[in-house]
Structure 1
Amino acid sequence: MSENSSTNRTEGDRTFYNMPSASGSNTNLYNGTKINAKENRYPHCIVWTPLPCLTWFLPFIGHMGICTTQGIIRDFAGPYYVSEDDMAFGNPVKYWQLDPSKAQNGKDSWDKAVHMASEEYKHRMHNLCCDNCHSHVAMALNLMHYNGSSSWNMVKLCFLMMIHGKYISFGSFLKTWLPFVIMVIIVVLIAYFTSSS
């Protein structure tokens, strides 16, 4: 997103950034930092991208990472490996920006928690069903006691990302949903022709 594609306004000590959303309307993002999709910078965001094949059948399931306050993406990419700025299944298509002031000790706590969770997951085996990229993000949020909670988990994050996640562009929306729609059409056509024969 180009620097002049958004207009800023300041009220007191707060800066608001009006960023165009995928639908064309403006989304007010506060916290003094801008999302820059072209540079893959998503300050204090949870980011999400589709998983090949799996997301085609279950569009709410994908790969998740968490970003530092500077927007650097950390994701549990595989056994004993947490990547930095190189998301395992491609660039994010969706993000959910959180408020670092809701971490127990503010901005410093956010970055420390992301680092600690990442270091821990460098020593863990990846398990698709039980201990995965969502679990890594949940650990970071639990360590910082985000929003006063230490009960973040993969199911909660999956559900909340569906509600709060914003697509980066219309193309990102299509990348997520088009394969699923095609699969549904194929299944419906097969069922129709099988029943009518």
Structure 2
Amino acid sequence: MSNSAENTAEQKMPSIDCDRQRFPFCVVWTPLPLLTWLFPVIGHMGICTSAGVIRDFAGPYYVSEDEMAFGNPTKYWQLTPYKTKKAIWDDAVHLASEEYSHRMHNLFCDNCHSHVAMALNLMQYDGSSSWNMFKLTFFMLVYSQYVSFWAFVKTWLPFVLIVTLIILLVILL
């Protein structure tokens, strides 16, 4: 696709509305209590429809709609829908959500990241059908944006406090 076509496609992208919790064509992320405090790159993930409605694999046999299991998104990664191949965006999100509404949740190998990866694989986002939880975690770390300064603080402050406490204990003992 030419640069002018890419620019036109980007200009037509719906805008993010953090106040209304609308993240069209996005992967969204929120901290998991305790886990994120210890490992700030680990969190809960969802994928949004073209209208910005959040879908997340929230637990065994349940994919929520517009109510993430661990609170509102603190960061998002907006993708470009013209990079899909096999299925259109909303169909892939719907099919992945239907599939995951019949699955048992497993923290380590079939979780919210797997749900998002399935949607991206179904649509062959960016020509790839090899999306997985590790690739998504890396891309969220590199390409995502925080919804606000306070979202950044919510994500990183517990980790910084724990590390500071450990350092102080080591120094004092």
Q: 2:19 — aligned with what?
A: 38
Q: How does 1:45-64 map to 2 (within 5 A)?
A: 45-64=26-45
Which residue of structure 2 lines up, in the alignment, with residue 96 of structure 1?
Answer: 77
Please name the residue that 1:141 is paired with: 120
TM-score (norm. length: structure 2) = 0.93
Q: Which runs of 5+ in 1 are unaligned?
A: 1-10, 17-28
Deviations 1:128-176 (A, max 9, x none): 0000000000000000000111000000000110000100110000000
- Mark the CA change 1:13 to 1:45 in structure 2 (over 3 Å): closer, same or farther: closer
Q: Identify the structure with the greater strand proportion.
A: 1
Spell out the pairing of 1:114-153 with structure 2 (5 A cutoff): 114-153=93-132
Aligned identity (percent) is 62
SS of corresponding position for 1:92: coil
d(CA) in 1 for partners of 2:29 and 2:122?
A: 21
Task: Tell me, in whole angstroms, the C-alpha distance in 1 between the residues paired with 2:160 and 2:172.
Answer: 18
Give the residue type in structure 1 aligned to 2:48. C
Q: 1:134 to 1:13 in 2, by over 3 A?
A: closer
| Structure with greater helix percent | 2
> Which residue in the other structure is 1:170 paired with?
149
Structure whose CA Rg is larger? 1
If asked which structure has higher relative contact order (CA below 8 Å, sep 6+), I would say: 2
2:44 is paired with a residue of what secondary structure? strand
- CA distance in 1 between partners of 2:83 and 2:6 (Å): 18
Change (3 A) 1:179 1:14: same
Residue 85 of structure 1 pairs with residue 75 of structure 2: no
Residue by residue, what CA displacement relative to the aligned partner does 1:158-195 show, whole Å, maximum 9, x if unpaired? 0110000100110000000000000001100111111x
Q: Which residue of 1 aligns with 2:166?
A: 187
CA deviation string 1:66-88 (max 9, x = no partner): 00000000000000000000000
- Please report the RMSD computed on the Cα atoms of aligned residues, expressed in angstroms: 1.8
| Unaligned stretches of 5+ residues in structure 2 | none
Structure 2 distance, partners of 1:176, 1:62, is: 9
Q: How many residues of Structure 1 are paired with residues of Structure 2 in the alignment? A: 170
Q: Equivalents in 2 of 1:102, 1:143: separation in Å?
A: 12
